[in-house]
Amino acid sequence: MADTAELKEREQKLQGMGASLLRKEDARFIRGQGTYIDDLTLPGMLFGAIVRSPFAHARITSIDKQKALACPGVVAVLTADDLKPVNLHWMPTAGGDVQAVLADKKVCFQYQEVAMVLATDRYAAYDGAALVEVGYEELPAITDPKQALAAGAPVIREDIADKKDVGHGPRTHPNHIFTWESGNKAAADAAFKSAAITVREEILNPRVHPCPLETCGCVASFNKATGYLTVYVTSQIPHLFRTVLAMLSGLAESKIRVVGGDIGGGFGNKVPIYPGYVVATVASIVTGVPIKWIESRIDNISTTGFARDYHGVGELAADKDGRIKGLRFSALADHGAFNSHVSASKLPAGLFSICTGSYAIPNAYCRVDAVYTNKAPGGVAYRCSLRVTEAVYLIERMMDVLAQKIGVDKAEIRRRNFVKAEQFPYTTSLGWTLDSGAYHAALDKVLTAVDYEGLRREQAAKRADPKCPTLMGIGISTFTEIVGAGPTKVCDILGIGLFDSCDIRVHPTGAVIARLGTMSQGQGHATTYSQIIATELGLPASDIVIEEGDTDKAPYGAGTWGSRSTPVAGAAAATAARKIKDKARKIAAHLLEVGEGDLEWEIDRFKVRGNPSQAKTMKEICLVSHTGNLPPGMEQGLNAVAYYDPPNLTFPFGAYLCVVDIDKFTGETKVRRFYALDDCGTRINPMVIEGQIHGGLTEAFAVALGQQLPFDESGNHLGNSLMDYFLPTAMETPHWETDHTVTPSPHHPIGAKGVAESPHVGGIPCFSNAVIDAFAHLGVTHMDMPHSSYRVWRKCQELGVNKRPGDA
Amino acid sequence: MKVAFERTFALPATADQAWKLLEDLERVAMCMPGARITERRDARHFKGTVAVRFGPASLQFRGELEVLALEPESRTLRLRGTGTDATGGSAASLDLTAHIEPKDAASSTLAGRGEASLSGKAATFGARVADPVAQQVLQQFAANFAAELAARAPAAAAPSKPLNGLGLLWAVVLSWLRSLLGARRT
């Protein structure tokens, strides 16, 4: 029998699951050798610049191209009228609506795409764009969704004003998109009627933007001779992107190749199909030369992929001890000018019904009303599954509101309502079956680690001291996430199920190429997938190459968003590897002349049970599988493809605690401590997980304390550059403390749940709860984000907490 | 975004003399810093340009000016201007009512009120300073108008200088400082 040291050495050699293997991607990124879309130059390539509307709502009275066409280097100016002959001036959206590719007679949001100027270089294109003269007749704009449904409100979408339905049920107003509901309203109402305690709060998730470092862009290249179209694009969903291009262009899907390349961050911003991509592609098909289109930062923040803009109302009903009996949540969703919101066909409000959180709530009802406004369309899930941040923010805020109402500690109110460990799998009153969890243990571990009682004592002492210059707040968030979309019976986009896939090819030397339907944007897939396969196959991760994002190479999959890569494609990788291992076992049995049942697996080899010196390593089997010495009838090769349709989503969870000190006189919020315990089930690469948590917490910090896309009453965007939009750097970002528990998912092949979004989803309410807790003793139950110094300072002013002795 | 303004300026001329100048739209436009009329379509419709600089950002609005009312009895001028910036990303409009009131035998007052509206990048980046900039533009306009009246001579057509970014910025900062010192903030 092999000794323990030898086993350990063999295991370490694999660098499989559980190892903090350094990310394979980073060698090229830290050398500046990543290849992004804008690094690409093809022969004869033209550059496209978009002419955008200065008005949020206006009729287009004229478009004069003459001066632009006279500009040196300008080749063409495309408008809606030029796309009409190919019927591509409008395009269908995933939400069941249509969206103007280039504005057709009317603009409905500021910076809307009106024309594209094609020129020999980027500078000429922008010079030309400045010379396109567009006549506008300004119309009154709506930027507040609460005004959208008023009688006599300006009709934003005249093109569909008469349509009774835009994909999701009857409409009640020309600016109404859909009303969606879930749960049992009568039961929830009854629970409220008989409840000892009820609380209600209006809670806003403001419009924000994921703002990835790399903006969106593409290079479309159509070869007229072969009829092949290649599109290099910043897309998180290359395969679905190709399908949509095939539907739009009429080209055979097999003649379209979509390539993702390296992507400089996505966070949802790179899921939608944007007009810029479509115009560039059409232009290339028409001209036969490659067309590059790259967004500027202002274009990116103002027009592509915003998030949230959910105007929520939360209500809880509880008994006198704070045990929740009923939940009613509603939200008014501002979808902007077109319903090009990313969503699965049957889930127009995404996964909002996860809003019962980590709690056993017997009666629940939720409802979302979506409306058009004169703001940019194309809402995305910013580092979350769609509408999960909004849902979790509501329930985690409302738990604090309830605790304050009945005077119970904010940790205790959670303990009293948690789903208990022995209740899993637990089906919520809104219909989700939470796969596994250990909420009490997670919270208790955090409270012990930070000395919660001590913190509360310190807070009480500071509150009692009128001379204390700061307000101390303690925020708790005990969230449950829902990731890994998803089971094809409930989740599809354009009719295509949200399964994922993995194609593994094992070479004679034991080196492996695995191709998956997902698309890394910085998540470290090349590292983590190789570790899953390494453990499953007993071959070293260093020799396993991962390829994604090139539709000519990878099998079909729904891409990377909603923390679905590990839960879905990771499962496909494990499943494909197990198929290979099954074949390898047959080969090993043949070589060792024993029955398959006589073999046992040990790290990297099959051993004969009871005769451990008789073994075949996976590496040996790899070579043999390419010879003639195989069991009778067996084909050569050691390859497998797996398509994985998840039986359920996965439900990672966590317990976070944040301590803030707010300067009463400046409103500045200092994050003293942030302790994040995450449970994402089986952990594949602890270092990658920690990196994801740091990133997600940083983006949560950004949203809670500074990010916002404000508009004035005319629809002018007032925060679309990095001068205004808060993107935290190492200067502002707090220190993070991370911890974990491990509660594997029972239905996932390796028990993994997904992790990248948890810190964002769970972090935002934790920061908000901390800031609001600092004011809780003054009767404050809610403050809307972002908690910028100015807004917090105004709260201090309003409450008079910053009066110095002697002030009037 | 919208900026409303209402200002009164003393003029070193009689109401009739001042009105005579105000009636001459091309001449009035020349008093407007950075503005020029490029085409007279008829007595009431003009085409023109306004150049403004905010630090590194230079905006050149092209647009139309329409005289809505020109009432000699009450010495009131009402006009509306609309324009878009040559870089395509901005638009602006202005509704203005100007009125001349006699004061004494040798002087009068010019009362102006109106609303300017900005859209696009001009609003995104200019919103912070739009109000003080508008005040400065009016101030400079009134000074030029008064000087024109005082000179009484037909001025030679000089090329319009763009609103000087640095000079304007300085004036804005000065006026902001004054407002800080002048009024105790509540």
For residue A374, count CB atoms less than 10 angstroms from its CB and return exposed for 0-12, middle for 13-18, buried for 19 or more. Answer: buried
ipTM of predicted assembly, 2 dp = 0.79
Averaged pLDDT for residues A310-336: 98
Q: Do B127 and A712 touch (CB under 8 A)?
A: yes
Residues 6+ apart with CB under 8 A from B145: B9, B11, B21, B28, B31, B110
| Same domain for A608 and A472 | no
- Convert A428-466 to b/e letters by CB count within 10 Å (16 or more is b): bbbebebbbbbbbebbebbbeebebeebeeebeebeeee
Q: Do B84 and A718 touch (CB under 8 A)?
A: no
A718 contacts chain B (CB < 8 A): yes
A717 contacts chain B (CB < 8 A): yes
d(CA A143, CA A698): 29
Q: Closest Cα of chain B to A55: distance in Å?
A: 6
Residues 6+ apart with CB under 8 A from B24: none
Which residues of B fall within a CB distance of 8 Å from A719?
124
The mean-pLDDT minimum among A146-155, A171-180, B150-159 falls in: B150-159
Q: Closest Cα of chain A to B86: distance in Å?
A: 6
Return the beta strands (E) in A354-464 as ranges: 363-371, 426-427, 433-434
Q: Do A130 and B120 touch (CB under 8 A)?
A: no
Q: Closest Cα of chain A to B43: distance in Å?
A: 23
Q: Do residues A309 and A206 make contact, with C-beta atoms less than 8 angstroms apart?
A: yes
Q: Do residues A175 and A149 make contact, with C-beta atoms less than 8 angstroms apart?
A: yes
B69, amino acid identity: A
Q: From the list B88, B125, B127, which residue is nearest A132 (CB)?
A: B88
| Same domain for A134 and A73 | yes
Residue A180: inside a domain, yes or no?
A: no
Query: Residue A64: enclosing H or E segment and its boundaries?
Result: strand A58-64
Q: Do B119 and A716 touch (CB under 8 A)?
A: yes
> What size, in residues, is chain A?
808
Tell me how many domains chain A contains.
3
Q: From the list B88, B117, B118, which residue is nearest A51 (CB)?
A: B88
pLDDT score recorded for residue B154: 44
Averaged pLDDT for residues A253-268: 95
Q: Closest Cα of chain A to B115: distance in Å?
A: 14
Q: Of A136, A112, A119, A102, nearest to A68 (Cα)? A: A119
Q: How confident is the model at residue B178 (pLDDT cuts 50, 70, 90)?
A: low
d(CA B67, CA B48): 13
pLDDT tens per residue, range A467-498: 999 999 999 999 999 999 989 998 998 889 99
B67 contacts chain A (CB < 8 A): no
DSSP per residue, B130-158: HHHHHHHHHHHHHHHHHHHHHH-SPPP-P
| Same domain for A517 and A631 | yes
pLDDT tens per residue, range B75-99: 999 999 998 886 667 888 989 999 9
pLDDT score recorded for residue B177: 58
Query: Which of the residues of A are catalytic?
Result: 236, 383-384, 757
| Same domain for A232 and A106 | yes
pLDDT score recorded for residue A671: 98
Q: A137 to chain B: nearest residue by CA?
A: B82
A614 contacts chain B (CB < 8 A): no
Cα end-to-end span (Å), chain B? 25
Which residues of B fall within a CB distance of 8 Å from A711?
none
Q: Of A603, A601, A641, A636, nearest to A622 (Cα)? A: A636
Structure tokens at A282: 């059409």
Print the domain residue range for B168: 2-182
Q: Do A51 and B85 touch (CB under 8 A)?
A: no
Q: Do B88 and A717 touch (CB under 8 A)?
A: no
pLDDT tens per residue, range A106-145: 999 999 999 999 999 999 999 999 999 999 999 999 999 9
Cβ within 8 Å of B, A 657-686? none
Residue A804: inside a domain, yes or no?
A: no
Q: Is pLDDT at A240 greater than 90 in this prediction? A: yes
d(CA A442, CA A437): 9
pLDDT tens per residue, range A693-709: 999 999 999 999 999 99
Alpha helices in A78-214 (DSSP H): 80-83, 122-131, 145-148, 185-193
Task: Give me the helix-helix angle, A525-537 and A571-592, nearest 10°.
Answer: 30
Q: The domain spanning residue A246 has which CATH number?
A: 3.90.1170.50
Which residue among A644, A665, A698 closes a domain? A644
- Convert A51-68 to b/e letters by CB count within 10 Å (16 or more is b): bbbbbbbbebeebebeeb
Task: Name the residue with tokens 């829902």.
Answer: A482
Which residue among A611, A644, A677 closes a domain? A644
d(CA A139, CA A106): 10
Q: Do residues A790 and A667 make contact, with C-beta atoms less than 8 angstroms apart?
A: yes
Averaged pLDDT for residues A292-321: 97
Where is pLDDT greater, at B150 or A299?
Answer: A299
d(CA A381, CA A390): 10
Q: Is pLDDT at B45 greater than 60 in this prediction? A: yes
Q: What are A492's strand-pairing partners?
A: A497
pLDDT score recorded for residue A231: 98
B1 contacts chain A (CB < 8 A): yes
Q: Closest Cα of chain B to A669: distance in Å?
A: 23
Q: For testing the chain B interface, which of A302, A716, A798 should be mutated: the one with the most B CBs within 10 Å?
A: A716
Identify the three-state secondary structure at position A703.
Answer: helix
pTM of this structure: 0.93
Q: Do residues A129 and A276 make contact, with C-beta atoms less than 8 angstroms apart?
A: no
Q: Is pLDDT at A600 greater than 70 in this prediction? A: yes
Q: How confident is the model at residue A688 (pLDDT cuts 50, 70, 90)?
A: very high
Which residues of B fall within a CB distance of 8 Å from A130?
86-88
pLDDT score recorded for residue B158: 46
Q: From the list A130, A138, A723, which residue is nearest B88 (CB)?
A: A130
Averaged pLDDT for residues A49-55: 95
Q: Do B91 and A51 touch (CB under 8 A)?
A: no
A129 contacts chain B (CB < 8 A): yes
Q: How confident is the model at residue A229 (pLDDT cuts 50, 70, 90)?
A: very high
Q: The domain spanning residue B97 has which CATH number?
A: 3.30.530.20
Q: Closest Cα of chain B to A527: distance in Å?
A: 42
| Same domain for A653 and A634 | no
Q: The domain spanning residue A504 has which CATH number?
A: 3.30.365.10
d(CA B91, CA B61): 7
Averaged pLDDT for residues A652-663: 98
B3 contacts chain A (CB < 8 A): no
B59 contacts chain A (CB < 8 A): no
Residue A131: inside a domain, yes or no?
A: yes
B49 contacts chain A (CB < 8 A): no
| Same domain for A411 and A463 | yes
Print the domain residue range for A461: 310-419+430-485+649-799
Q: Is pLDDT at A69 greater than 60 in this prediction? A: yes
Q: Is pLDDT at A807 greater than 70 in this prediction? A: no
| Same domain for A756 and A744 | yes
Q: From the list A54, A718, A723, which residue is nearest B91 (CB)?
A: A54
Return the beta strands (E) in A94-205 as ranges: 98-100, 106-107, 113-119, 133-138, 176-183, 197-205
Residue A168: inside a domain, yes or no?
A: no
A712 contacts chain B (CB < 8 A): yes
d(CA A439, CA A764): 19
**CA dihedral sign of residues A54, A58, A59, A61:** negative
Q: What are B8's strand-pairing partners?
A: B111
Tell me how many domains chain B contains.
1
pLDDT score recorded for residue B156: 40
Q: B117 to chain A: nearest residue by CA?
A: A714
d(CA B179, CA A796): 25
| Same domain for A84 and A220 | yes
Structure tokens at A782: 């809610």
| Same domain for A782 and A708 | yes
> Omega before A206 cis (within 30°)?
no
| Same domain for A378 and A234 | no
Ramachandran region, residue A261 (left: φ > 0; alpha: ψ -120 to 50; beta: rest): left
Which residues of A fall within a CB distance of 8 Å from B129?
none
Identify the three-state secondary structure at position A72.
Answer: coil
| Same domain for A320 and A244 | no
pLDDT tens per residue, range B135-157: 888 888 889 999 988 886 444 44
| Same domain for A234 and A375 | no
**Per-chain mean pLDDT for chain A:** 96
A54 contacts chain B (CB < 8 A): yes
Which residue among A644, A661, A685 closes a domain? A644
A81, amino acid identity: D
Residue A206: inside a domain, yes or no?
A: no
pLDDT score recorded for residue B163: 57
